[in-house]
Amino acid sequence: MKVAKFGGSSVASAEQIKKVAAIVSEDSERKIVVVSAPGKRDSSDTKVTDLLIHLGETHLEAGDTEEALEAVVERYASIAEGLGLGQGIIATIEADLRERLSFDRSRPGSFMDLIKASGEDNNAKLIAAYLQSVGLPARYVNPKDAGLLVSDEPGNAQVLPEAYDHLKKLRNTDEIIVFPGFFGYSKEGTLVTFPRGGSDITGSILAAGVEADLYENFTDVDSVFAANPNVVSEPVKIKKMTYREMRELSYAGFSVFHDEALIPAFRKGIPVCVKNTNNPSSSGTMIIAEREYFLNPVIGIAADEGFSTIYVRKYLMNREVGFGRRLLQIIEDEGLSYEHIPSGIDDTSVILRQCQLTPEIEERIVERIRVELGADDVYIEKDFAMIMIVGEGMHNTVGVSARMTAALARANVNIEMINQGSSEVSLVIGIHEKDTDRAVRELYAEFFGAAVEVVQ
């Protein structure tokens, strides 16, 4: 059995959904199809999810929702018309949206989850109807009926362990199940959405639940690339990579997956294949537990921007028991999460996402560190980028760090921070944002320029 997930660009229009139907029909093992809400048809278009967010926010502000509602319905109507479906499915979708708008607004987070999730839910109904219309034995299944139980955290749902036992029953079907991504239900019956990349998470959970032989993730690229193609011209296609490599690259800004999306499949040892809806004959990228490392220790280079550093200096800091704990307690008291803590004997830095900081929070943190920890110096610097060099083969290879620093020196890029994980799967460097693209291009040339033919 295969679980096939189709992203927003793969289901954005009638033409794309016809491609989905052809892909599903050509392989009888594709029994579970997970779908996103319709994405952009072109660069100037608007995603259905964004239309729904506007609809929900307008309703919460007690504004007139008819125009916003009509924009959503018209989008589905254009898809249905292109697929040759009757008005019945559009009437069903409009009635569903109006019913959702009538729900309790006293918990805005839960209300917005309900509205946003309609994108995937109604698209699943529409796609199931189309598959039936072309003679395929398909049926729509709602996550609540399937038993996809999650924690009651609006916008940040976590799957509950018992959900896997419920979902395993789907394995016994002879039909093609069309399942909406992005959301599940709490034990109390409340709809709750996953974090960003939620449909990928749904697909991974279903693959684990039914113990699929393969989880296929269909998107709009032929494979995962060794670097961002918007930065590096025609980067190498990665044919095979490990779960750990994919997670590290996803965390560092690779847009193929949310960095948590593959965890359910990883825990069950289910291989994942990234494929292109527009070119399904391409072999794609296989994500597996282990791979051969060949000659190049590096599999990919990723960059993410928007970081700040809290720099703290205190003489004899290394002798002071509990200094690090008290520093992190101040960070925790402000409700902040951190990414890295590179340290010296008399200084340390806490690197975190810049979006968490406000001027008020910054002022409080600096004052508390100065007063409570007796720091000799403390200040916050902004606009850093983290570049991650990833590869399972790095831990067996001498000289990766030397090659990296030499490449950055050639590009005239100063390293502000360097950190290697204990697993040695990744090497992280901090630089100023203005140098990001130049650094990525030089690092790519260093690790892939002369060895493209041997990267797998």
Residues forming the annotated binding site for ATP? 5-8, 219-220
Q: What is the Cα–Cα distance from 221 to 448, expressed in whole angstroms?
A: 20
Q: Which helix (H) or strand (E) holds 193?
A: strand 191-193
User: Contact, 442 vs 398, CB < 8 A?
Assistant: no
Annotated binding site: 5-8, 49, 120, 219-220
Q: What is the Cα–Cα distance from 85 to 95, expressed in whole angstroms?
A: 17
How far, CA to CA in Å, does 10 sit from each of 15, 96, 217, 278, 417?
9, 23, 10, 8, 39
Task: Identify which of 95, 121, 111 has the alpha carbon closest to the alpha carbon of residue 56.
Answer: 111
Give the strand pairing for 30-35 and 2-6.
parallel
Q: What is the Cα–Cα distance from 124 to 189, expressed in whole angstroms?
A: 20
User: Contact, 243 vs 288, CB < 8 A?
Assistant: yes
How far, CA to CA in Å, does 301 sit from each of 245, 424, 447?
10, 15, 9
Annotated binding site for substrate: 49, 120
Q: Is 130 left (phi over 0), alpha (psi -120 to 50) or beta?
A: alpha
User: Contact, 454 vs 297, CB < 8 A?
Assistant: no
